[in-house]
Amino acid sequence: MDQFRELLLIYTTTPIYAIVIGIEMFYSHKHHRGLYSTKGTITNIYLTAMNMGLDILMRTACLFVLNYFFQFRFVDSYSSVVVYWALLFLAEDCMYYWLHRFDHYCRLFWAVHVTHHSSEEYNLTVGFRSSVFQPLYRFIYFIPLSFLGFKGIDIMFIYSATQIFGILSHTQTIGKLGFLEYFMVTPSHHRVHHASNAIYLDKNMGMVLIIWDKLFGIF
């Protein structure tokens, strides 16, 4: 079942990525926006392939570590499946926020993460412009979730699921999204994150929810 849901996630999102990227490319070409270049797109694909390869190699080790700490959990069960997944989503999104924030504020981790910010373009394929070596340490930030009674395989799945949203926020073709701007990481919020203006540096670190940035003072 665990393997099936991950395959379902891959098979569902792959055509979605292809469609929305194709639409953005067509829009860019038709309106002469110059959002894409062959070199930039190939580089983005290359970096995500490197990241995915390392991610696959690290998968067993990450799962082993998370399951090891799961033995020492403080919470044995949750009142319902809905509560379990809702709390896991919130907790994972919060821990990703801190992972991302440390990637920006620590020079060692910034040396890993900077590849994601090195593109001179900004389009949906930049969402795939991965921090190649991040899988070597990313799982450490999710160990607290094991203590909270969340299974390693579920933690890894919800991370993959939220990545989908994070990738789709890398676009210049969508404006503000009304009330969603108050609590979600919208494309307009994430464009600020990728800006090079001094006032916007190291802001808006969230993956799905912007509430962490507002709560911890870097919105």
The pLDDT score that the predictor gives to residue 1 is 65
The predicted-structure confidence for 151-207, as pLDDT tens digits, reads as follows: 999 999 999 999 999 999 999 999 999 999 999 999 999 999 999 999 999 999 999
pLDDT-based confidence at residue 6 (cuts at 50, 70, 90): confident
The pLDDT score that the predictor gives to residue 95 is 98
Q: Which helix (H) or strand (E) holds 76?
A: none
pLDDT-based confidence at residue 7 (cuts at 50, 70, 90): confident
| Residue 217 confidence (pLDDT) above 80 | yes
Q: Which amino acid is at 137?
A: Y
Reported pTM: 0.93
Q: Which residues contact 66 (CB under 8 A, 6 or more apart)?
A: 139, 142, 143, 145, 146, 151, 152, 155, 156
Count Cβ neighbours within 10 Å for each residue of 123-132 and write b for 16 or more, e otherwise.
bbbbbbbbbb
| Mean pLDDT to the nearest integer, 35-52 | 95
Q: What is the mean pLDDT of the chain?
A: 95
| Residue 3 confidence (pLDDT) above 80 | no
Which of 1-15, 23-37, 107-121 is least confident?
Answer: 1-15
Do residues 161 and 9 touch, judged by C-beta distance below 8 A?
yes
Percent over 90 (pLDDT), the chain: 95
Cα–Cα distance, 218 to 193 (Å, whole number): 10
| Mean pLDDT to the nearest integer, 7-16 | 90
The predicted-structure confidence for 54-92, as pLDDT tens digits, reads as follows: 999 999 999 999 999 999 999 999 999 999 999 999 999
Alpha-helical regions (H) of the chain: 2-30, 38-70, 81-105, 107-113, 143-147, 152-168, 187-193, 211-215
Domain boundaries, the chain: 2-215
The predicted-structure confidence for 53-64, as pLDDT tens digits, reads as follows: 999 999 999 999
The pLDDT score that the predictor gives to residue 10 is 86
